[in-house]
């Protein structure tokens, strides 16, 4: 049984006959996009002068699904398609996402007032936020939401940052389900489903991140 990352064969294809449990990448991306749009509306942003920069890494299937889901939710929330810019990442770290975001920021019109920054994980958003700071955007005019949560703790401890929050997965639930499925497979002969997608995530922000991380034993 595979958890989080799927096994691949010698040709690079997913081994469909191996039971898999992991994050529902597209659906989690949708929730990320919906959260960014909701916060923009809460702040009273006008879509006319709001733009989104989504840092993408399409070489990784999971990453592509997350950012595709995020873009879909932003479009459904009403942001014009031509206000959503994608920037290809060369590396999945903070410097790489800074470079990617910078390449998109130079394409923005002079009327761009507010920015939404998205990506497949926390680091691809953190670097994007750093780029907006260098470009002169105030934290109040930036909404960055990552995925993972634990890589964003240091940023969420800051009083003022364009990094608004992160979609925190439920590793304790994934671990429990995995153990349960394996136990039933070994003791009862009940083979797990070939594909089990988990989309339970919690938006953590400066207001709740310590409490939410404490709940699942990740706060130190």
**pLDDT tens-digit series, residues 53-106:** 999 999 988 899 999 999 999 999 999 999 999 999 999 999 999 999 999 999
Q: Please report the sign of the dihedral spanned by the C-alpha atoms of residue 180, residue 182, residue 188, residue 192.
A: positive
Rounded Cα gap, residues 113 and 27, in angstroms: 29
The pLDDT tens digits of the residues spanning 157-188 come to: 999 999 999 999 987 888 899 999 999 999 99
Q: Strand, coil or helix: what is 116?
A: strand
Is the pLDDT score of 220 beyond 80? no
pTM beyond cutoff 0.85: yes
Rounded Cα gap, residues 187 and 87, in angstroms: 49
Summarize the confidence of residues 22-44 as an average pLDDT. 96
Q: The domain 16-216 belongs to what CATH superfamily?
A: Response regulator (3.40.50.2300)
Say what the pLDDT of residue 216 is. 85
Which residue, among 24, 34, 28, 27, has the nearest Cα to 143 in the 3D structure? Answer: 34
Following DSSP, what letter does each residue of 148-197 receive, concatenated? SSGGGHHHHTSSS-SEEEEEE--HHHHHHHHHHHHHHHHHH--PPPSEEE
Contacts of residue 189, defined as CB under 8 A and 6 or more positions apart, other chains included, come to none
Query: What is the β-pairing status of strands 20-23 and 2-3?
Result: parallel
Strand (E) or helix (H) holding 135: none
67 CB-contact burial (10 Å; exposed 0-12 / middle 13-18 / buried 19+) = buried
Which residue, among 163, 80, 175, has the nearest Cα to 123 in the 3D structure? Answer: 163
pLDDT cut 70: percent of the chain above it = 100
């Amino acid at each position: 049984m595979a958890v989080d990352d799927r096994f691949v064969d010698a040709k690079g294809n997913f081994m469909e006959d191996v039971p898999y449990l992991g994050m529902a990448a597209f659906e989690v991306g949708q929730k990320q996009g919906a959260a960014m749009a909701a916060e923009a509306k809460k702040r009273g942003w006008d879509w006319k002068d709001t733009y989104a920069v989504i840092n993408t890494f399409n070489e990784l299937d999971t990453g592509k699904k997350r950012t595709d889901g995020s873009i879909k939710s932003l479009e459904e929330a009403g942001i014009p398609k031509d206000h959503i810019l994608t920037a290809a990442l060369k590396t999945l770290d903070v410097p790489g996402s800074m470079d990617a975001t910078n390449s998109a920021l130079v394409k923005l019109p002079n009327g761009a007032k507010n920015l939404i920054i998205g990506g497949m994980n926390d680091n691809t958003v953190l670097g994007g936020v750093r780029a907006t700071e260098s470009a002169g955007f105030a934290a109040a005019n930036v909404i960055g939401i990552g995925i993972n949560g634990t890589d964003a703790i240091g940023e969420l401890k800051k009083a003022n940052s364009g990094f608004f929050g992160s979609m925190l997965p439920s590793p304790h639930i994934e671990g429990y389900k995995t153990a349960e499925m394996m136990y039933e497979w070994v003791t009862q002969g009940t083979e797990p489903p070939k594909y089990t997608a988990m989309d339970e995530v919690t938006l953590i922000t400066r207001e709740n991140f310590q409490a939410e991380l404490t709940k699942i034993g990740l706060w130190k």
